[in-house]
Copies of this chain bind each other. A is one copy, B any other.
Amino acid sequence: MKFVVDQQIEDIEMPENLKLNTFLQEFHSDCPHPECNFGFYGFAFGQSPFPVPKLIQEALVKNADKGAYAPISGIPELRNAISKYNKHYFGMDVSPERIHVGPGTKALIFNLLEILHGTVILPTPAWLGYLPQIRFLKKNYHMLPTRSNKKISPNNLRRLALRLHDRQKILILNNPNNPTGLLYDKLELEEISDVCREQNITVISDEIYAQTTYDFSKFVSMGKIYPEGTFVTNGLSKSHAAGGYRLGYVVFPQHAVDLKTQFKKILATEYTAVSTPIQHAAIAGFEISKDIEEYFEVTRNIHQIMGEYTYNALSSIEGVIATKPNATFYLLADFNHYATDLQKSEIFTSQKLSESLIVHPYHTAIVGGDSLVLERTDFSARIAYVDYDGSKVYQNYLNNKPKSASEKLEFVKNNAPKVVAGIEMITKFFENVKKTSLNLSQTQKNSMMTPS
Chain A residues proximal to chain B, CB less than 8 Å: 1, 3-7, 9-10, 12-15, 18, 47-48, 51-52, 56-58, 60-61, 64-70, 72, 103-104, 106-107, 110, 114-118, 129, 132-133, 136, 167-168, 200, 202, 228-229, 240-247, 253, 255-256, 258-259, 262, 264-266, 268-278, 281
Contact = CB atoms under 8 A, between A and B. Distances in A.
Contacts of A51: 65, 67
A75 B449 CA distance: 61
A117 B244 contact: no
A48 B228 CA distance: 42
Interface of A is mostly: loop
Q: Give the 10 A-B CB pairs with smallest separation, nearest first.
A: A244-B276, A52-B67, A57-B64, A4-B117, A60-B64, A4-B168, A107-B271, A132-B269, A67-B242, A246-B275
Given A15-B265, A51-B67, A67-B242, 6 more contacts: A1-B253, A3-B116, A3-B168, A60-B61, A246-B273, A246-B274
Contact of A60 (B15, B60, B246, B258): B60
Contacts of A70: 244
A14 B264 CA distance: 8
A272 to B, nearest CB: 6
A115 B9 contact: yes
Nearest to A115: B9
Among A133, A202, A241, A244, the one with the most B-chain Cβ atoms within 10 Å of its Cβ is A244
A411 to B, nearest CB: 23
A240 B117 CA distance: 40
Copies held by the complex = 2
A241 B271 contact: no
Contact of A5 (B5, B47, B259): B259
Contacts of A116: 3-6
Contacts of A269: 12, 15, 110, 129, 132-133, 136
Contacts of A246: 103, 271-276
B202 A3 contact: yes
Nearest to A267: B18
A68 B42 CA distance: 15
B117 A281 contact: no
A272 B262 CA distance: 23
B115 A5 contact: yes
Given A61-B64, A65-B51, A241-B67, A271 B9 contact: no
